Chains A and B, each alone.
Chain A
Amino acid sequence: NAGVMQNPRHLVRRRGQEARLRCSPMKGHSHVYWYRQLPEEGLKFMVYLQKENIIDESGMPKERFSAEFPKEGPSILRIQQVVRGDSAAYFCASSLPDRAHEQYFGPGTRLTVT
């Protein structure tokens, strides 16, 4: 059973460009979570999604950031008009509906904004 997959693993964007980060949850997992880890800082929750629904987006910046988890396909975290402060590691996690205590994390996407 493949683990959580994230791509790309490394992404370089210039200021003002868009970044799209993809997350394929583990097979059978319908809950997806996105976290961000800024350099030398701890992990911060961003958003929690179920298929086609955003359940909790309390950690998402109010502007430029959006997330989706469509009925088919991976979850997407989209950052428009990136700035240097968006440079971070972005981790996706997934869980089974009845096992939400056990979140399984992907390897992360390391975004660098130049």
Chain B
Amino acid sequence: DAKTTQPNSMESNEEEPVHLPCNHSTISGTDYIHWYRQLPSQGPEYVIHGLTSNVNNRMASLAIAEDRKSSTLILHRATLRDAAVYYCILTQGAQKLVFGQGTRLTINP
């Protein structure tokens, strides 16, 4: 599986936008970009995924660079409930998810 690189931790304030970066310079043409998050003491939660175009859903937006070597998960208005570890994962389809260390997001009230 292609490797992703994320900052270990980030901090933001409540009700402000959050931009979580992910580098994936070895991504292949058939790799999908997924984001999952894990709140404390819970199972992971699907957030969003995309292939080439930017994607929006009720939880977040995914901005994918034109060369696909990086992407950014955007939380438009963070709440305290968004404090979690965010994982950026590449897969080629119906396969196992390979979780890295992720980014631990802290939201300040």
Contact = CB atoms under 8 A, between A and B. Distances in A.
Interface of A: 4, 31, 33, 35, 42-45, 48, 56, 58-59, 91, 93, 95, 100-108
Given A91-B44, A101-B34, A102-B49, A59 B96 contact: yes
Contacts, number: 55
Given A102-B49, A104-B46, A105-B46, 10 more contacts: A33-B97, A42-B100, A43-B44, A45-B96, A56-B96, A59-B96, A91-B44, A101-B91, A103-B36, A105-B43
A105 B99 CA distance: 14
A44 B97 CA distance: 8
Contacts of A103: 36, 44, 46, 97
Contact of A56 (B42, B44, B95): B95
A4 B91 CA distance: 22
Interface residues of B, number: 21
Interface of A, secondary structure class, is strand
Interface string B84-105: 0000000101111111111000
Given A101-B32, A107-B43, A95 B100 contact: no
A58 B36 CA distance: 22
Interface string B39-54: 0001111100100000
Contact of B43 (A101, A102, A108): A108
Contacts of B102: 42
Contacts of B96: 33, 45, 48, 56, 58-59
